[in-house]
């Protein structure tokens, strides 16, 4: 019997009702359906996790933040994600709340298109020992825990030193994450199919600091230099880890992707056009 896990964002009022409908739809077709209640605020404070082992399909009911949570668990296991958008932007959750029946039936029939997205992984090395690791669909951010406080980071790529970065922090984003925090900090938007990482400084002390795009051939290494502020590492804006002086953060692209059902490049660029208000000139 195939198994589905419904990840229901408890902050979205209609999520439980839609989850019940989807659960009944799948159960009538012989699926074993489980439910996990996801609270983003609680997860940010205390951390939450769920078991995706043995699951054949994950259904995300919420916004893009819920998709990020589900993707981190599903991507390493090769579990496809059926993301229903109950949020605002819908860059990742491309299936609309009132239109899930047809694409879900198409998935069960093997006819639903999908798009695969690259992830980013990080490892924190302290005194030669790995003390933290995580993956992310959007980004990894190394920054001061207090607003407007400068930190010092030594960055290298594939063994080549890029020099010290003095800034509020840096964002290391995937192609998918290039439309999120990285874009807000002035980074470029790149096609989601590119296997690349974008390093975007946050409020750099030097006006010459610019975003950099790296291929997957090398590893980004970030060493924490002495700073007056506390420094944190955050995965997808949802997982926190406190860094210490001389910690080294290694970042790269893993050999797995997340499979988002119902997604397409056309939907991605349509979302950019509508959500970012690309209107062209007055006579365009």
* Active site (catalytic) residues: 64
CA 142 to each of CA 55, 151, 172, 276: distance values in angstroms, whole numbers, following the listed order: 32, 9, 8, 26
d(CA 59, CA 22): 9
Q: What torsion, rounded to 10 degrees, do the Cα atoms 210, 213, 214, 215 define?
A: -170
Decide if 183 contacts 243 (C-beta within 8 A).
no
Decide if 210 contacts 258 (C-beta within 8 A).
no
d(CA 147, CA 163): 24
H helix count then E strand count, the chain = 6, 19
In 3D space, the residue among 258, 229, 275 whose CA is nearest the CA of residue 69 turns out to be 258
d(CA 33, CA 25): 10
């Amino acid at each position: 019997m195939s198994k589905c896990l419904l990840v229901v964002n408890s902050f979205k009022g209609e999520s439980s009702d839609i989850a019940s409908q989807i659960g009944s739809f799948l159960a009538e077709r012989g699926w074993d359906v489980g439910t996990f209640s996801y609270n983003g605020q609680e997860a940010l404070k205390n951390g939450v996790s769920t078991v995706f082992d043995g699951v054949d399909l994950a259904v995300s009911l919420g916004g893009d933040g819920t998709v990020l949570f589900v993707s981190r668990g599903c991507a390493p296991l090769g579990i496809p994600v059926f993301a229903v958008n109950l949020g605002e932007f819908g860059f990742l959750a491309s299936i609309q709340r009132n239109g899930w029946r047809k694409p879900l039936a198409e998935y069960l029939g093997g006819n639903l298109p999908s798009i695969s997205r690259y992830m980013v992984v990080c490892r924190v090395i302290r005194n030669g020992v790995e003390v933290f690791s995580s993956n992310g669909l959007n980004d990894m951010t190394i920054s001061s825990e207090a607003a407007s406080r400068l930190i010092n980071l030594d960055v290298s790529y594939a063994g080549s030193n890029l020099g010290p970065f003095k800034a509020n922090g840096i964002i290391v984003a995937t192609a998918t994450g290039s439309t999120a925090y990285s874009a807000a900090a002035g980074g470029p938007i790149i096609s989601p199919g590119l296997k690349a990482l974008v390093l975007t400084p946050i409020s750099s002390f030097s006006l010459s600091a610019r975003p950099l795009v790296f291929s997957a051939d090398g590893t980004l290494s970030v060493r924490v230099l002495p700073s007056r502020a506390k420094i944190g590492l955050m995965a997808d804006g949802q997982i926190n880890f406190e860094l210490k002086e001389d910690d080294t953060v290694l970042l790269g692209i893993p050999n797995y992707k997340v499979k988002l059902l119902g997604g397409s490049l056309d939907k991605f660029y349509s979302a950019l056009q509508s959500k970012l208000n690309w209107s062209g000139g007055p006579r365009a």
